[in-house]
Structure 1
């Protein structure tokens, strides 16, 4: 199987990195589980839904974390978050060149609300600390659960984001928006609208992700190699100013628009309704001259 979307976290790790090179930190045999889920009679996982460790990527040593969307939708709890923080801090200590975050998460576990929220904030701080120390942090997003909630913010804190069209990225998930504001605001059952709004193509056009690939582990691998080697590693004021300027431009140009199709047209896409039908290579050819600059 070469589908990134249909692969589990461990399958993605196995296929993305150099064969046989992954060494897991705190594997399931260590039995490090959530201290909260058992008290609530909820299912536990011996890796708490995230795989972390060291691997080679095209011969270079990297650290990697892969969230398991099949366990609680990849949601973050205390142990899950601590594993991510520990990985990022260890990358700084060992002077690792890059950390790959294979994210697939609906956000924080409701079962561990406060602990999960604190964990996500600690992950954000660890990402920024890693970048400040010269470690490139790269997000890969192509899982069926998307990257939402606090992990959506974590993704945007990283150096670069690689997405497939099937991947989704946002702060609030479609169901959350519908519950909070009503179906008139956002119909979570309208799959075309959901993907137009949160999917990889829209995020690429808006400058939120730096590369878009097909649903292929091999293409994710090549994009990850390029991102680790080409992206700036140090977080600096100039980069933050550039990001702020881009966000200001987006509000000014698109703030009154209610559908991504309007935004795509405003960006100069001649046939915006045809965008969802294009494969990744065709889309990049059309979109690259028109997308916002991003980071």
Structure 2
């Protein structure tokens, strides 16, 4: 077993895809870097924190992007976002079997916030164009930094989300919530609380991810192979199904119950038996508990 969380972006690419098939566009040797970081005196990376290119997965042609969590937490800036958009736009032209996004990001870089925000919006538009063309977009989340902020929204725009039990997915990160609303609202140092409310097990039980796997590159590869042929059409009927899921979750929670942890309360309301034991259960056991 090789930990997906402990791998770098390029290690994940090498281990996840068919050996020797990855061809990178705008590699570090091209030195395409953010123009903003240098002006601020901030160290930059020659690939701006993301590797993009083409490869094969189980013999199928795929386009892939992998964010590097070790560089600015995988934050999205102007060049980083442009590489993602370019990958997706090229997918519309070349029509691979699927697009894979190995997401690890805290969201938009504060150093180039406006450029990053625009970039994320362009990524979302390009991703939805790819989906509308019938090309599945599969997001894999299992890095140490999780998938938050704008990239959390991007992930939920995809056809299919694969998460490990140690992966995290949310709009606002724990530190952001604490900074905005105080430690009484959310204690970011409470790691058990963080994983109960943003972790892979929680996202699986609430229907926010489509595959829950172990923190193992081989498990991610197997799930990705299964997902690349599953295009989810963008139709009003599909949106109605999503809205029904959100409505059920909203109505399941009693409005003023503070006697139990919110995540455990929601799991119980959704029909999970012995919800307090979920954090201790194996991935296989948690997979069997989903009711929605």
TM-score range, shorter chain: over 0.9
Give per-residue Cα distances to partners, 1:182-233, cap 9 Å, x unaligned.
111101011000000000000011110001000000000000011112x234
Contact 1:82 1:119 in 2 (8 A): yes
The corresponding residue for 1:118 is: 118
Contact 2:131 2:231 in 1 (8 A): no
The corresponding residue for 2:2 is: 2
The corresponding residue for 2:272 is: 269
Contact 2:249 2:270 in 1 (8 A): no
Shift of 1:17: 0.3
Distance (whole Å) between structure 2 residues aligned to residue 254 and residue 39 of structure 1: 49
List alignment gaps of at least 5 residues for structure 1.
Answer: none
Name the TM-score, length of structure 2 as normaliser.
0.96
Distance (whole Å) between structure 1 residues aligned to residue 194 and residue 123 of structure 2: 27
Distance (whole Å) between structure 2 residues aligned to residue 133 and residue 254 of structure 1: 37
* Structure 2 counterpart SS, 1:36: helix
The corresponding residue for 2:183 is: 183
Shift of 1:241: 1.4
Contact 1:97 1:134 in 2 (8 A): no
Q: Alpha carbon RMSD of aligned pairs, Å? A: 1.1
Shift of 1:250: 1.4
Contact 1:135 1:233 in 2 (8 A): no
* Structure 1 counterpart SS, 2:228: helix
Shift of 1:281: 1.4
* Structure 1 counterpart SS, 2:36: coil
The corresponding residue for 2:162 is: 162
**Are 1:281 and 2:265 matched, yes or no?**
no
The corresponding residue for 1:204 is: 204
Shift of 1:234: 2.7
* Structure 2 counterpart SS, 1:63: strand
Distance (whole Å) between structure 2 residues aligned to residue 237 and residue 93 of structure 1: 26
Shift of 1:255: 6.5
Shift of 1:41: 0.6
Shift of 1:279: 1.7
Matched residues, number: 288
Distance (whole Å) between structure 1 residues aligned to residue 43 and residue 174 of structure 2: 25
**Are 1:259 and 2:258 matched, yes or no?**
no
Contact 2:28 2:47 in 1 (8 A): yes
Distance (whole Å) between structure 2 residues aligned to residue 273 and residue 46 of structure 1: 46
